[in-house]
Amino acid sequence: MPSIDANHAAIARVVHITPPRFSDHRGFFAETYSQRGYAALGVDATFVQDNHSLSAAVGTVRGLHFQAPPHAQAKLVRCGRGAIFDVAVDIRSGSPTYGRWAGYTLSAENGAQLYIPVGFAHGFATLEPDSEIIYKCSDYYAPETEGALRWDDPDIGIAWPLTSAPVLSEKDAAAPLLAGFNSPFTFEG
């Protein structure tokens, strides 16, 4: 059974998970997902799509992304090679933690994962070259529902561990700020 980080309560429903690894002279084995085991930790999403991305340069920032209803996505994120600083931002209107963020280092070495529920924007910064991110999604990609918020929004105030200017897509560099954002998500207690 994977373990859950006690810090996950900082933003309800965002869960930092570390599956156990069984190591020997050949390397290790880890069960990276079990519906039964993860449901016991509060991860109740049904995943329908797996994604895999590579970011070549250290300091690449992707996000903060989300998909709006009716194709909203929960994500289960892990790093297969390298290391990333992975972030979830609560964008559920009416939430007591609206606009707050939680961030964790996920790496090939630590095997940690982050569960990001529906109603949260997601982003990450690469900490090592050629970092590969593998994540499960609870709905299919629907480009007509995708949205983004600025990665460096001062109202969110993410403490990105960057040592130089980030490598960004044009879309991420031009994403809107949280101020004036009309969230398609509502907090449901």
Q: Is it the case that residue 11 has pLDDT exceeding 90?
A: no
All residues at 6 or more sequence positions from 25 whose CB lies less than 8 Å from its CB, including other chains: none
Q: Is it the case that residue 96 has pLDDT exceeding 80?
A: yes
- The answer to whether residue 115 is catalytic is no
In order of start, what are the domains of the chain with their CATH numbers?
A: 3-186 (2.60.120.10)
Structure tokens at 136: 């499960």
Cα–Cα distance, 99 to 121 (Å, whole number) = 10
Helix (H, G, I), strand (E, B) or coil at 39: helix
Q: What is the mean pLDDT of residues 147-162?
A: 97
Cα–Cα distance, 91 to 61 (Å, whole number) = 19
* Pairing of β 101-107 and β 146-148: unpaired
Residue 10: what pLDDT? 63
Q: What is the mean pLDDT of residues 9-14?
A: 74
- Check 38, 104, 115, 135 and give the catalytic one: 135
Alpha helices in the chain (DSSP H): 35-40, 170-173
Q: What is the mean pLDDT of residues 128-155?
A: 98
- Check 8, 16, 65, 122 and give the catalytic one: 65
Residue 6: what pLDDT? 38
User: Residue 151 CB: number of other CB atoms within 10 A?
Assistant: 25
Residue 4: what pLDDT? 45
Structure tokens at 126: 């690469």
- The answer to whether residue 140 is catalytic is no
Helix (H, G, I), strand (E, B) or coil at 171: helix
Q: Is it the case that residue 5 has pLDDT exceeding 50?
A: no
96 touches 9 (CB < 8 A): no
Helix (H, G, I), strand (E, B) or coil at 36: helix
Place of tokens 């085991």: 37
